[in-house]
Amino acid sequence: MIDIGYFALCLALLASGYGVIASAVGARRRQLGLVRSGENAVLATCALLTIAVVALWQALLFHDFQVEYVAENSNRSMPLFYLVTALWGGQNGSLLFWGWILSLYSASVVALYRQRYRELMPYVVATLAFTSFFFCIVHLFAADPFQQLSFTPPDGRGLNPILQHPVMAIHPPLLYLGMVGMVVPFAFAIAALLSGKLDTTWLRASRRWTLIPWTFLGFGLLLGGKWAYVELGWGGYWAWDPVENSSLMPWLVATAFLHSIMIQERKGMLKVWNLALAILTYELCIFGTFMTRSGIISSVHAFAQSNIGPFFATFLIFSLVFSFGLLWLRLPLLKADNRLESFASRETAFLLNNWVLLGMLFAVFWGTVFPLVSEAFTGEQITVGAPFFNQVNIPIGLVLLLLTGAGPLFAWRRTSNESLRKNFTTPVTAGLIFVGILFALGLRDLYALLSFGLCAFVTIALGTEFHHGTRARMRSTSENYPMALYRLCAKSRRRYGGYLTHLALVLLFVGFTGKAFTQEFEFVLEKGTSRQVGNYQLSFESLAFAEASNHSTTAAALGLHRDGEFLGTLLPERRYYPAFDQGTTEVSIYSTLREDFYVILVGSAADHSAKFKVYINPLINFVWLGSIVFVLGALWAMWPTPRDRRLARVDRASAVGLLVPRKRPHHA
Binding residues (CB under 8 A) for other proteins: these are 68, 71-72, 90-92, 149, 153, 155, 157, 160, 162-163, 232-235, 298, 300, 302-306, 339-340, 343, 355, 359, 362-363, 366, 370-371, 380-388, 391-392, 395-396, 520, 522, 524, 574, 578-585, 600, 602-606, 609-611, 613
Judged by DSSP in three states, 524 sits in strand
How far CA 301 is from CA of 85, 177, 240, 291, 305, in Å, comes to: 18, 19, 11, 11, 12
Minimum gap (Å) between residue 609 Cβ and other proteins: 8
Please give the distance of CA 606 from its chain centroid, rounded to a whole number.
Answer: 46
Minimum gap (Å) between residue 293 Cβ and other proteins: 10
Nearer to other proteins by C-beta: 23 or 92? 92
Minimum gap (Å) between residue 490 Cβ and other proteins: 37
Minimum gap (Å) between residue 65 Cβ and other proteins: 10
First to last CA, the chain: 48
β-strand 573-577 against 582-586: which pairing, if any? antiparallel
Taken as a whole, the chain contains a residue count of 668
Minimum gap (Å) between residue 155 Cβ and other proteins: 8
Q: How far apart are CA 399 and CA 360, in angstroms?
A: 11
Nearer to other proteins by C-beta: 219 or 229? 229
Nearer to other proteins by C-beta: 298 or 542? 298
What pairs with residue 589 in β-bridges?
598
Minimum gap (Å) between residue 50 Cβ and other proteins: 25
- Rg, C-alpha atoms of the chain: 27
Q: How far apart are CA 159 and CA 230, in angstroms?
A: 19
Closest Cα to residue 300, out of 371, 200, 232, 251? 232
Closest Cα to residue 400, out of 356, 359, 362? 356
Instruction: Judge contact between 567 and 537, C-beta under 8 A.
Output: no
Nearer to other proteins by C-beta: 3 or 520? 520
Minimum gap (Å) between residue 186 Cβ and other proteins: 27
Nearer to other proteins by C-beta: 51 or 302? 302
Nearer to other proteins by C-beta: 338 or 477? 338
Handedness of CA 221, 370, 259, 193 (dihedral sign): negative
β-strand 536-547 against 552-562: which pairing, if any? antiparallel
DSSP states of 322-367:
HHHHHHHHTGGG---S-----SSSHHHHHHHHHHHHHHHHHHHHHH
Nearer to other proteins by C-beta: 144 or 479? 144
Nearer to other proteins by C-beta: 15 or 71? 71
Nearer to other proteins by C-beta: 416 or 582? 582
Element at 29 (helix H, strand E): helix 2-29
Minimum gap (Å) between residue 148 Cβ and other proteins: 11
Minimum gap (Å) between residue 548 Cβ and other proteins: 17
Q: How far apart are CA 3 and CA 607, in angstroms?
A: 59
Please give the distance of CA 113 from its chain centroid, rounded to a whole number.
Answer: 26
